[in-house]
Amino acid sequence: MKHLLITIIMGCAGWMLPLAAQELPVYLDDTQALEARVDDALSRLTTEEKVALLHAQSKFSSAGVARLGIPEVWMTDGPHGIRPEVLWDEWSQAEWTNDSCIAFPALTALAATWNVEMGRKYGVAIGEEARYRNKTVLLGPGVNIYRTPLNGRNFEYMGEDPFLASKMVVPYIQGVQSNGVAACVKHFAVNNQETDRGSVDVQVDERTLREIYLPAFKAAVQEGKAWAIMGAYNKFRGEHCCHNDYLLNQILREEWGFDGVVVSDWGGVHDTREAIYKGLDMEFGSWTDGLSWGASNAYDNYYLAQPYLKLIASGEVGTEELDEKAKNVLRLIFRTEMDRSRPFGSFATEAHGKAAREIAQEGIVLLKNDDHILPIDPAKTKKIAVIGENAIKMMTVGGGSSSLKAKYEISPLDGLRQRLEPDVEVVYARGYVGDVGGSYNNVSTGQDLTDDRSEAEMMAEALAVAKTADYVIFFGGLNKSEHQDSEGADRLSMDLPYNQDALIAELAKVNENFVVVNISGNAVTMPWINQTPAVVQSWYLGSETGTALAAILVGDVNPSGKLPFSYPVKLSDNSAHAVGDYPGTDGVVKYKEGLLVGYRWHDEKNIEPLFSFGHGLSYTTFQYGKAALSSNALSADGQLICSVEVTNTGRRAGSEIVQLYIADKKSSLPRPVKELKGFKKVKLEPGETVTVEFTIDASLLQFYDDQMAQWVAEPGKFDAIIGASATDIKTSASFSLK
């Protein structure tokens, strides 16, 4: 027995000794450095095998090298949940029975939490789902800046401010990648509208590019260490973004040191030579439906497939770029599929549902609450009238590539019923009818929402129901149909669709306990705002929509979200529409507003927004003390601390998002009036005071000097401004950079 034991121990030890490892080829030996493994694997590949790594073999996968045990790469949308499986060559769903995911809140909701811990929670949970489904790359997050409220895809992004988006994207990526799944940040770059998205040429000056549109991508690459990035559909300065020398070769690779893969958007590649020389690594989505382009296999005809091999065979192009691209893909595979220590993930679990609910609850924004009509006190309420199509409409389905097949989706109506019945009666009237079907990619919710009644009939029913209730809660806004919050097309107007404005105005007349919950990923006009005492901004909140909203409305959870974008009164108050250009002319869109995006524009032009960037109320109140600086002089390599006391002056616990803006008082180049450079979300018990501290160094004072082609912090005077929003300024202090 003793002898046997010793043999086993020796056997195990022998197995662990380097001797065994030495027998492995370097690329399979995970004690070896990543680059050594990549180089070794590359040296074993034929030209054909290298090329095969660079293009799709199905709608969402690319080949590995079976001969060498190098696995395939599987992609999935992203960014709010793991997309249902589709057929090999088509967009149609494969009708699996085990691919129903947890739908997480849309990224606007995540941004509205202003809580980096929520970013991490989100990333970890969605990464676990991707891993369990055996995906290599999650096609998200999206960090395109909110330039116009008409952009159909704003709901997939993180708002108008580069600093906020940069801070929120990093922990999301780290969370995803902790599962051995690559995050693929998209859409690089300046993809800020859906109109003409495949062809429009974006012209934006260098400084605006650097200060507004690139920082979140840069943070994703340099701080988040994203393993993949997706090129955008549009052109930038005349070149398609999926093969754009300036963006991909010069900025992404050379300046930022990106060592991951550049993935094309689906169908975003247009030319073999451009793809070879201008920075693309992996081509996806070029004409596959029905295999119409290929004699036997459409994927052979991809720009980076046979056409590439032919150019190599004829000697017209060399193999230097091929090796670089193949190395980038191999590096991706080693980091993910071939990382034997990566966890196994988990799918559609209760824990993920809980994470989704927490993020949703933290992201909901209380925009207005006159006379404290919210929260609803169930003990004092007998009957609640719920009105509006969005109280019952499924929102996890539709909207384009982010469409999901959710394991469950609790509607706002069901959420309220679950929370309040039977003590409180909850009655429902639909009030209006939106689009039935008609979404991009033609996915159907499976919900039959047909209703033949006229607008007048629907309104009459809603008003009758509203009159009899203690509270009226209207759930409206946009949805995931075409020309709403959906990929492939922009909104046609900033107004609410489907007669909702008229309905809201009438509802406000019949019941003064009236709450409007706007569900959207974009700002909408609110011509009825003065007649409506309470307004809540809900985003697309995913599986836990109804539970999260009910928790906020009845006060189980104190609202703590703030807007990640400005809410202009009207479309012409938004800079892209005030000075143009949108959607461009003759195939070109010029970002003439330059740096003045969102609150930067409102500040500069003194245009009062309906609701400011950073605005959001609570059921408690906060008082700010005076801002104090650890010193009023900062050296170029030094730091100073800006601190402010914040007290919860109300009667319940709540969280406040304290915002630091910096104003450059004098500069050689014009600067926005102020810019967000810090934020902290703090939770306070009633009566509690905390000191919130921000560290300021010269990097927060920089602007991009396009003449010098570098970031500079000019000596001079600056203000550190503390606000509860971009317009609710509480206190400030001045300092100078020496």
Using CB under 6 A as the binding rule, the residues of this chain from 626 to 645 that contact ligand BGC are none
- Measured CA angle at 556 (ends 554, 557), to 5 deg: 110
By beta-carbon proximity to ligand BGC, the closer residue of 197 and 419 is 197
Question: Among residues 186 and 681, whose Cβ is nearest to ligand BGC?
Answer: 186
Minimum CB–partner distance for residue 489 and ligand BGC (Å): 12
Q: Which position among 32, 38, 64, 78 is part of the footprint of ligand BGC (CB under 6 A)?
A: 78
* Burial bucket for residue 430 (CB in 10 Å: 0-12, 13-18, 19+): buried
Closest CA to 724 of 671, 654, 651: 654
Active site residue 719: no
Here the tokens at position 412 are 């706002």
Residue of this chain nearest to ligand BGC (CB atom): 401
Rounded Cα distance between 161 and 613, Å, is 9
Interface pick for ligand BGC out of 122, 266, 302, 303 (rule CB under 6 A): 266
The 221-260 site mask, x for binding ligand BGC (CB under 6 A), equals ----------------------------------------
What's the min distance (Å) between Cβ of 269 and ligand BGC? Answer: 12
- Can residue 80 be called a binding residue for ligand BGC (CB under 6 A)? no
Closest approach of ligand BGC to the CB of residue 267, in Å: 7
Structure tokens at 493: 């107007």
557 token code pair = 């959870």
Nearer to ligand BGC, 265 or 573 (CB): 265
CA distance 671 to 422: 57
End-to-end CA separation in angstroms for the chain: 77
Kindly give, in sequence order, each residue whose CB lies less than 8 Å from that of residue 727, ignoring residues fewer than 6 positions away: 599, 602, 608, 609, 612, 615
Of the residues 77, 99, 265, 603, which is catalytic? Answer: 265
Length, in residues, of the chain: 738
To ligand BGC, the closest distance from the beta carbon of 13 in angstroms equals 48
In the complex, what is the shortest distance from the CB of residue 72 to ligand BGC, in angstroms, rounded to a whole number? 17
CA distances from 130 to 105, 108, 355, 357, 724 (A): 16, 21, 15, 19, 37
Site for ligand BGC in 369-408 (CB under 6 A): 401
Based on CB atoms, which residue is closest to ligand BGC, 78 or 559? 78
Give the count of beta carbons closer than 10 Å to the beta carbon of residue 688: 13
Is 409 near ligand BGC (CB under 6 A)?
no
- Judged by CB under 6 A, does residue 77 bind ligand BGC? yes
Instruction: Give me the sign of the Cα torsion angle 531, 537, 540, 546.
Output: negative
Can you tell me which of 37, 186, 419, 600 binds ligand BGC, judged by CB under 6 A? 186
Comparing CB distances to ligand BGC, the nearer of 190 and 312 is: 190
Nearer to ligand BGC, 201 or 265 (CB): 265
Asked if 590 contacts 529 with a C-beta cutoff of 8 angstroms, the reply is no
CB of 266 to ligand BGC, least distance (A): 4
**Can residue 139 be called a binding residue for ligand BGC (CB under 6 A)?**
yes
Using only C-alpha atoms, the chain has a radius of gyration, in whole angstroms, of: 27
Rounded to the nearest 5 degrees, what angle is found at the Cα of 226, between the Cα atoms of 224 and 227? 150
Question: Which 22-41 residues touch ligand BGC, going by CB under 6 A?
Answer: none
282 contacts ligand BGC (rule: CB under 6 A): no
Report the distance separating Cα 153 and Cα 486, nearest Å: 6
Cite the active site residues. Answer: 265
| Interface residues toward ligand BGC, by CB under 6 A | 77-78, 139, 186, 265-266, 401
